A and B are shown apart, each in its own frame.
Chain A
Amino acid sequence: MNGLSARRLRVLLAAFVLFSGAVSYRVVSFAVLQGPVLAQRAEAFRYREDIVPAHRGDILDARGRVLATDIPADRVSAIVRQVEDPHRTAQLLAPLIGRSAEDIEAALTQPGREWVVLQRQLDPEVSAQIRALELPGIVLDPEPKRAYPMGDFASQVLGFVNWEYRGAYGLEAAYDSVVGGIPGQLVGERDLAGNVIALGQSSWNPPKDGATLVLTIDSAVQYIAESVLDRTIQEQRAAGGTIIIMDVRTGAILAMANRPSFDPNRFTAVSDPALFVNPSVSATYEPGSTFKVITMALGLDAGVVTPQTVVDGGAYRELPDGTRIYNALLQEFGPETMTEVLIHSSNVGAMEVVDRLGPERFYDGVERFGFGQPTGVDLPGEVEGIVNRPGTAGWSLTTFYTNAFGQGIAVTPLQLVTAVSAIANGGVLMRPYIVQEIRDGQRIQVTQPTPVRRVIREETARTLSEMLAEVMDSYSTRFRIPGYRIAAKTGTAEIPGPHGYERGEGATIASVIGYGPVENPRFCVLVKIDRPKGSPWGERAAGPAFAEVFRQLLLLYGIPPSQPVNSVTGEGGRP
């Protein structure tokens, strides 16, 4: 009996020692070996950090219309191990979230994945449908979505917001730090459901919502520009185009329409990312005869010509090396005044002006007008254009003379509008801008018009305006704006290619630039039509659009006619 008891005791002792050893091992394992890792994991579970996204500020037009805003959306995800039937789940979700059932099933059955995002930025209606399905393991999390209520309206100006909710192009990118806000941070002790325990330790760094941008873009003016541009492109079977309208007194951009464009709500559907770029500031072209306005301004300002100066308008000018540079269509105008040089759009006449100016004064003046350098507009991706000065690799005597009529020089549409606006503004160049106000809570930052420099004398600007008004009158058989005196110049530019200038149909850029009313200039308008097939000429392809834009603009702003007129007849088309 005693022996049995002793044996039992030994067995019990051994079992106890074994058990104690096992427990001790686990204790040491948890507390010492895995201690730091487990403690860290527990800490992370209890004190989870949540990034609280800031609301992105709205973008409004000058009339307060919403151009970009945040709307509620959801992100649908799956906790993979909780999904009971991946096949059925995929079948039910596929028609709702716009992904194939196979694709979803593959995502749900990925080995080693605990969590997978199935789709983002779902509309509230779709979220409600998913919620109603009550699928195990499928969760919906709210996330903001950027929306552009007017679709492709001014899309290249606005840009869009990418999947990371950062501005990708346009104003969304340029003002990302202002509009985007600063995300907040919530670190708190949480219960099992993930709710922050009120009495637990927590720190709350609230998000700072983004500021609201108010643009100088007037949606009514932008609508006029886009509608007229669309119609003209269709009529002319053109590849694209640009219309810019600027307030000449301030440099505020009232409209900036580009085609082709895209819908920022569906930026993922765009196959060519080049469409995202704003060609008004990021693409250059040879302005052609519209540049004669600048040449003439410099000639008049330097006093080397006057409106009455007569030059021999032959068909061509022969350079010392034997190169001949011709007028368009080899036209010969005979003796012509400077005003007639502009009316005829005489290349030979323009070459005479730069000849009298000399390269130094000419290029100094061109740079003074802002060519060859960014305008400083508050839009991203602005390029500086190409102005080859004497001594640079791209310069020759031929380019010097062709620069006089806008060939061999590359400018952005905005550079040209800004430069011509300076003439309309009495010779003072203004820095163009597109954001009028930044509203950050109670703080409102208003952009003040910024004069850059005087480029020509006021008297010169006035003289040139009178000359350009006569030029506009000369187009009256093609396009006119009855009752108003408008200063304008057309241009038909050839497009340089790898083997010289392109030839054939659709090988020009047709444009008109002008401002008015001449008595008190308010607006500068550039209409640029790329590769028109209806007519290659600026006067025919872009002229009617220019007149239509100006007519609508003057009516919209209620500017009365300055000349007696019985009636101002519209085209009867869309505005």
Chain B
Amino acid sequence: MMVAEGVRSVTGSRPQPVGRPIVRRRGRAWLALTLVLVGALAGLCLLYLEQTSRVVELGYELTALQHQRDSVALEAAALRYELARRQSLARIYELATREYGMVPLRRVEPLEVERSPVLPTPTPTEPPRAPWWQRANDALLGIGRAQAGDEP
């Protein structure tokens, strides 16, 4: 066994440990793959976190907007109420009589107006008819002719 250790191989090449480079290569590949997977997973996690926080943020924004919409709707209702209050007939009467010096209606004079005589409806006249040869020519060549009607 001792002798054999110092003997070169007949081929002259150094003895190589059987299968080790393959294992190393495979190990590196696995490491790379693991790193890629971990990286991808981390990326996905980050993406998920980003999306989640964005959705939550949007949710809060939505709630805030809903509140704003509600308050605007209520404000519009308040304005509508104020408008209606100001349109109150009792208030208009007070304004008209006190501020603008108007007085209630005291005298109404109906006026007879003669209705203008109804004009006779004009009898529709027959439009001039084109001669037969022109109608045939128009039909063959696809010519259409416009005609002024009663309506504007």
With contacts A70-B77, A483-B110, A572-B104 taken as known, whether A196 is within 8 angstroms of B55 at the C-beta atoms is: no
Which one of B59, B84, B106 lies within 8 Å of A197 (CB-CB)? B59
> Which of B38-46, B86-94, B118-126 lies at the interface with chain A?
B86-94
Bound CA span A567–B108, Å: 6
Q: Does B52 contact A (CB under 8 A)?
A: yes
Which one of B55, B59, B77, B107 lies within 8 Å of A570 (CB-CB)? B107
Q: Is the CB of A197 within 8 A of B56?
A: yes
Q: How large is the interface on A (under 10, 10 to 19, 20 to 34, 35 or more residues)?
A: 35 or more
Q: Is the CB of B59 within 8 A of A199?
A: yes
Q: Does A150 contact B (CB under 8 A)?
A: yes
Bound CA span A196–B109, Å: 69
Residues of chain A lying within 8 A (CB to CB) of residue B83? 66
Q: Is the CB of A196 within 8 A of B87?
A: no
Q: Which residues in window 15-70 of B have CB below 8 A to A?
A: 52, 55-56, 58-60, 62-63, 70
Closest residue of chain B to A575 (Cβ to Cβ) is B104
Most buried by B among A66, A150, A198, A575: A198
Q: Is the CB of A198 within 8 A of B71?
A: no
Q: Is the CB of B106 within 8 A of A149?
A: no
Residues of chain A lying within 8 A (CB to CB) of residue B103? 572
A34 to chain B, nearest CB (A): 32
With contacts A72-B75, A568-B108 taken as known, whether A220 is within 8 angstroms of B84 at the C-beta atoms is: no
Q: Is the CB of B88 within 8 A of A151?
A: yes
Q: Is the CB of B59 within 8 A of A196?
A: yes
Closest residue of chain A to B75 (Cβ to Cβ) is A72
Interface of A is mostly: loop
Q: Does A451 contact B (CB under 8 A)?
A: no
Q: Is the CB of A574 within 8 A of B107?
A: no
Q: Does B74 contact A (CB under 8 A)?
A: yes
Which one of B80, B85, B105 lies within 8 Å of A555 (CB-CB)? B105
With contacts A150-B84, A197-B56, A199-B55 taken as known, whether A569 is within 8 angstroms of B106 at the C-beta atoms is: yes
Q: How large is the interface on B (under 10, 10 to 19, 20 to 34, 35 or more residues)?
A: 20 to 34
Bound CA span A220–B88, Å: 10
Q: Is the CB of B88 within 8 A of A150?
A: yes
Which one of A147, A153, A197, A561 lies within 8 Å of B81 (CB-CB)? A147
Q: Does A308 contact B (CB under 8 A)?
A: no
Residues of chain A lying within 8 A (CB to CB) of residue B104? 570, 572-575
Q: Which residues in window 141-189 of A have CB below 8 A to B?
A: 142, 144, 147, 149-151, 153
Q: Is the CB of B81 within 8 A of A568?
A: no
Which one of A66, A72, A195, A555 lies within 8 Å of B74 (CB-CB)? A72
Bound CA span A574–B81, Å: 26
Bound CA span A196–B66, Å: 12
Q: Is the CB of B110 within 8 A of A561?
A: yes
Bound CA span A150–B90, Å: 8
B44 to chain A, nearest CB (A): 17
Q: Does B95 contact A (CB under 8 A)?
A: no
Q: Does B136 contact A (CB under 8 A)?
A: no
Closest residue of chain A to B64 (Cβ to Cβ) is A195
Q: Is the CB of A196 within 8 A of B63?
A: yes
Query: How does the 8 Å CB contact mask read for A199-229 relative to B, with 1 for contact and 0 for none?
Result: 1000000000000000000011001000000
Closest residue of chain A to B92 (Cβ to Cβ) is A223
Q: Is the CB of A574 within 8 A of B93?
A: yes
Query: How does the 8 Å CB contact mask read for B98-133 relative to A, with 1 for contact and 0 for none?
Result: 000001111111100000000000000000000000
Q: Is the CB of B87 within 8 A of A65?
A: yes
With contacts A149-B88, A150-B84, A220-B89 taken as known, whether A570 is within 8 angstroms of B105 at the C-beta atoms is: yes
Q: Is the CB of B77 within 8 A of A71?
A: yes
Q: Is the CB of B107 within 8 A of A568?
A: yes
Closest residue of chain A to B88 (Cβ to Cβ) is A150
Residues of chain B lying within 8 A (CB to CB) of residue A220? 89
Residues of chain A lying within 8 A (CB to CB) of residue B90? 150-151, 153, 223
Which one of A197, A199, A567 lies within 8 Å of B109 (CB-CB)? A567
Bound CA span A147–B55, Å: 40
Query: How does the 8 Å CB contact mask read for A240-272 relative to B, with 1 for contact and 0 for none?
Result: 000000000000000000000000000000000
Query: How does the 8 Å CB contact mask read for A61-102 relative to B, with 1 for contact and 0 for none?
Result: 000011101111000000000000000000000000000000
Bound CA span A571–B120, Å: 46
Q: Is the CB of A66 within 8 A of B105?
A: no
Closest residue of chain A to B97 (Cβ to Cβ) is A574
Interface residues of A (CB under 8 A from B): 55, 58, 65-67, 69-72, 124, 142, 144, 147, 149-151, 153, 195-199, 219-220, 223, 483, 555, 560-561, 565-570, 572-575
Show 15 residue pairs from A and B whose CB-CB distance is below 8 angstroms, ordered by the A residue. Answer: A66-B80, A71-B78, A72-B75, A72-B78, A142-B71, A149-B84, A149-B85, A150-B90, A153-B88, A153-B90, A198-B56, A198-B60, A219-B89, A567-B109, A572-B103
